Amino acid sequence: MPELPEVEHLRRSLDPVIVGATVRGVRVVRRDVVHATAPSRTAAQRQTALLVGERLARTSRRGKQLAIEAESGMTLVIQLGMTGSVTIERGRPPSGMDGKHRHVVWELDLADGRSRVRMAFRDPRRFGGITTYPSRAHLDQAWESLGPDGLGLTATELSEGLRGRKRPGKSALLDQSVVAGVGNIYADESLFASAIHPQTQAGALSTHQIGRLAAEIRRILNHAADAGGSTLRDYRDAFGNPGGAVQLHMVYGRGGEPCLRCGTTLLGLRLQGRATVCCPRCQDLSTGRAGSRSRRRS
C-alpha cells in the first residue's frame, strides 16, 4: 500500500520523463475515478481538466498526493489509495499492469519531439483517484488541510499537531492533517523506533519523545523513499520494476514473532480499526511526560 515513500519514488521516476511532454490525448475508462473541482459539463472540458493539449511543467507532492501541473497552471492530483499505480509505457504495459483496472490512460508526446508514451493509472480497489484543479492556487488551497510533509517534519511542527490531543499517538500519526504521508506501516515502524507505545496519548508525549519521533519519521520515510519504495508486497514503480532493496520491517506484519531488538513476542492489536504491532517491552505505555510518569492505563 503506497505511503509517502512510494509516492515520492514514483514522482522522482515520473518527473524526468513527463516534464516538458505534451498531452496528446486521454482515455477515461472509469469516469468515477476522476473528480473535478471546477464544473466541466462537456466532454471537451473534461479532457482539458485532464490536461489534454497542455505541456507539463512540473511535478510535486504533499504527503501521499502526487500533483502534475501544466504550464497553464491547470493541475491534477493522483492519489494511489491502497492499490493504485502509475506506469509509463513505451510499448505494451509491464506484466501485471495490463488488463483490468486501467482507469485512465494518457498519451504523451515527449519533450524530444519524437517519442510517444502512455501514462496509465491503474487501481484495482479504487480507493485512489484523480482530482483536477483549475489552477495551482486551487490545489494549494486544498493542500492547506494537510499537515506538514513527513519528509521534512520538524519537532516543533509535530508538537503543535499533537498538543492537547487525547487520542492515541498512532491515531494522530495516521491523521493527514497532523502529518502528511504517514500510513499504517510507517506509523508502526516510527513508533517502534522511538520506543513509544501506539496507545500512548498524543498529548501526553514529552518534548524529548516528540523530538525523537519526528526524527524517526523523517529518517524512516527518507530512507524508504531513497530505497525506491521497496516496502510493498506488490509495489511497482513507473516502469514496472519492484523496489530495489528489500526493507526489513521491525514490527509491521510481525505480530506474534519475536522482537528484533529484545526478543519479546510482538503484540498484535487493533487501533482505530487498523492492524497494529508493537513490542510490549521496548514500547512502554507508561513512558509519559515527567510528572505523569506513574499514570498507567490498561
Partner DNA sequence: AGGCGATCCTGAGGGC
Partner DNA sequence: TGCCCTCAGGATCGCC
Q: Which residues bind DNA (CB under 7 A)?
A: 1, 3, 63-65, 79, 81-82, 100-101, 124-127, 165-168, 171, 174, 176, 183-185, 234, 272-275
Per-residue cell: 176? 493527514
Spatial distance between the Cα atoms of 272 and 21, rounded to a whole number of angstroms? 43
Nearer to DNA by C-beta: 23 or 105?
Answer: 105
Shortest distance, position 104 Cβ to DNA, whole Å: 16
DSSP 3-state assignment of 104?
A: strand
Nearer to DNA by C-beta: 21 or 76?
Answer: 76
Shortest distance, position 273 Cβ to DNA, whole Å: 5
Spatial distance between the Cα atoms of 34 and 294, rounded to a whole number of angstroms? 51
Shortest distance, position 167 Cβ to DNA, whole Å: 4
User: Could you tell me if 101 and 124 are in contact, meaning their C-beta atoms sit under 8 angstroms apart?
Assistant: yes
Question: How many C-beta atoms lie closer than 10 Å to residue 72's C-beta?
Answer: 15
Pairing of strands 34-36, 129-133: parallel
Per-residue cell: 95? 506484466
Shortest distance, position 176 Cβ to DNA, whole Å: 5
Residues classed as catalytic:
2-3, 64, 274
Q: Which phi and psi (to 5°) does residue 291 adopt?
A: 110, -30
Nearer to DNA by C-beta: 22 or 230?
Answer: 230
Nearer to DNA by C-beta: 212 or 254?
Answer: 254
